[in-house]
Amino acid sequence: MPVAELPFGIVMDLSVWIEILNLPTGQRVSAIFAIIGWAIVALIFFFMGAELWVKVRQAKYTSAWEWIVLAVDVPTDTIQSPKAVEQIFSHLSGALFEPNIGQKYWQGVKQRWFSLEIISLEGYIQFLIYTEATYRDLVEAAVYAQYPMAEITEVEDYVGAIPSKYPNETHEMFGLEFGLAAADPYPIRTYSEFEHSITPDYTFNDPMASILENFTRIGAGENLWLQIIIEPVSESWKVKGIELIKTIITNKKHVSGQFFLFKIINVIVEELLKAIRPPVEGPVIKKKEELPGKITDLTPGVRDTIAAIEEKISKIGFKTKCRVLYAAPKEIFNPSRCLDGLIGSFNQFNYSGRNAIIPVLATKAHYAFGDYRTTEIKKRFVSAFKKRKIRTGKNPYIFNIQELATLWHFPLPLVKAPLLQKTASKRAEPPINLPIEEMTESPLKRRIQQTVEEEPAEESPTELPYA
């Protein structure tokens, strides 16, 4: 009787399974489905129902949220490196809230997120932060801490400037969603690597210059919008980076973690195959044992990559989604005017052997039923863009605060974007010795006092009794 010994000292009798596997194909499938098929179907329906329940509860929980758009303007002579914006993102990570099981599955508690945006309305460029009203004070405190002279103003949401449904009689749109070419732990090129000692007074080649240049290419009636949606996450994403480093050092194929149930199934299948296969006659060939890898055995380039991964996971991370949308009236619609250059400007963050920012989704289908599929893609893309949905489209990825500050930061004064909105003057406190008029008395009291002083005083009588 074939017996298989599983982990934890569990022993299973496999004779029934061997008889089933020896049956004809049709009977074998029917027998296996009768034994375990119902359990698989039940699990599928259970997880589908649980996901639907969570979405319903989250929709009810988020219905009370109030979203606002904050326009951020900095003085023209502000000299701050992207390190200041990196500290802003570090400040925003305080919005992290991890609900427990009861809060997540019963109350529908959901993590709030932010959207960092650069928009060009007919060539007029503005930096915006889209946030839930609860975190307005957090956003303002984070910005003022690094840019005390900045001006933050609540403005009307601009997404209503274009239609929501396409095809449209008057407008056309084209959208792109960006993703990563490699796994999340691999970093992109960050602002610290754009420092060049050109002159003694200026050693930073701002990557924002090439991005903003594309926003100045458009004219009347055209709109070019970029949004980077970020959601605070816990430190669990760093485990993936640690596993990747171990995989690179040991020079083994990376295997993602499996559920315990799948491991048990794999063991059972292997034992079944061993029981069915006849024993192999002849000498047993021993496999050569592979020695674990060492750091000293790696090339300098690989060691630099490991150091870059360690640098990325040492900082705070955010779940990220990046989109760009171009919309204009049909008669002047020309997305290649700005989108081609924008894609090229993102190539400056690519790092050979590490990671790159690439387009992963476009609002255009080239296969069967292309027109219908294009219409559906545009519908979902515009809805996701206007509502700033992070989970619509491709899967989000992890950027740390240094990578985010590289992609979205206020440009230095040497970046000459003609229509970039900036504050005309600095805010300052009044001088200490400024004379201040004291108004301790009410206007009514002062008026009565003036009237009394203007009236002539009555003369006292000369003869009084008992004088």
**What is the 8-class DSSP label of residue 204?**
B
DSSP string, 126-187: EEEEEEEGGGHHHHHHHHHHH-TT-EEEEE--GGGGS-SSSS-SSEEEEEEEEEESS-TTS-
How would you write the pLDDT of the chain (467 residues) with one tens digit per residue? Answer: 555 555 555 666 667 667 777 777 777 777 777 777 777 778 888 888 888 888 888 888 888 899 999 999 988 777 788 999 999 999 999 999 988 888 888 888 889 999 999 999 988 899 999 999 999 999 999 999 999 999 999 999 999 999 999 989 999 999 999 999 999 999 999 998 887 655 555 566 788 889 999 999 898 999 999 999 999 999 999 999 999 999 988 876 544 444 444 555 555 556 555 555 555 555 555 555 555 556 777 888 889 999 999 999 999 999 999 999 999 999 999 999 999 999 999 999 998 889 999 999 999 876 666 778 889 999 999 999 999 999 999 999 999 999 999 999 998 776 665 556 555 544 545 445 444 444 444 444 444 455 445 445 445 445 544 33
Can you tell me which residue has the tokens 């029934």? 16
> Which DSSP helix (H) or strand (E) runs through 114?
strand 114-121
DSSP code per residue over 392-428? SSSPPEEEEHHHHHHHS-PPPTT---TTB--BSS---
Strand segments (E) across 219-330:
223-232, 317-329
Distance, CA of 13 to CA of 271 (rounded, Å): 11
Residue 218's closest CA among 340, 381, 323, 346? 340
Strands 151-155 and 67-73, sheet pairing: antiparallel
DSSP helix/strand/coil, 455: coil
Peptide bond into 418 cis (omega under 30): no
